Amino acid sequence: MDFHTEFKPLTVQPQEIEGKSFEIITEELGEHPFTEEQYPIVQRVIHASADFELGRSMVFHPDAVEAGIRAIREGRKIVADVQMVQVGISKPRIEKFGGSVHVYISDPDVIEEAKRLNTTRAIVATRKAVKEADGGIFAIGNAPTALLELIRLVKEGVARPGLIIGMPVGFVSAAESKEELAKLDIPFITNVGRKGGSTIVVAAVNALSIMAEKRG
């Protein structure tokens, strides 16, 4: 490798780079099982991760995309499991419809209650969130315990989310939590296996908000 070759920075616009990236993704992904409405979400997940295996592993409830778009356009709350997800979500498109993005894991009352119950903040934050975000989008990219608690609350009829985007990353309970999510008969977006994370969930939410905005 010649390390003395002069480096020439890219001079194209960001939109051109994104467009070219999407072309490469479509070409390299080839045939896939996703519907026309699901594919833009898969595409942005791959764009955020450069991971085609992750993209191919995604699973959608049949009503997931429409439910997500509807929740955004109705100004429903979006609940993130951690600040990293909250920060990554594009706020202007969400706020355009009267929505907002919330994360409860660092709230003082959540921290105190988690200590009192000797449980995780993710679990307590989920219990608080379901009381304040009925019909909203729950975006979980880091905490399998949050996803498992949300699933439990859904089964008990306590939680009524409009959409669950559950793609936590990790080695303990991450894959298992997604398996349980995929059994629910409510709108969800998930993936198979250990992969996932904040950037992946952010990509899915942002893809939905772009689609919601295009509706006019």
Pairing of strands 58-60, 188-191: antiparallel
The active-site residue out of 32, 47, 61, 102 is 47
Distance CA 77, CA 126 (A): 14
Query: What's the CA gap between 155 and 81, in Å, rounded?
Result: 20
| Residue 111 DSSP code | H
User: Please, which residues have CB within 8 angstroms of residue 106's CB and are 6 or more apart in sequence?
Assistant: 83, 121
CA distance to 101, 186, 216, per residue, from 212 (Å): 16, 20, 8
Q: Catalytic: 32?
A: no
Burial class (CB in 10 A: 0-12, 13-18, 19+), 106: exposed
Retrieve residue 197's tokens. Answer: 């994370």
Give Cα 167 distance to the centre of its chain.
Answer: 7
Tell me which residues are annotated as active site: 47
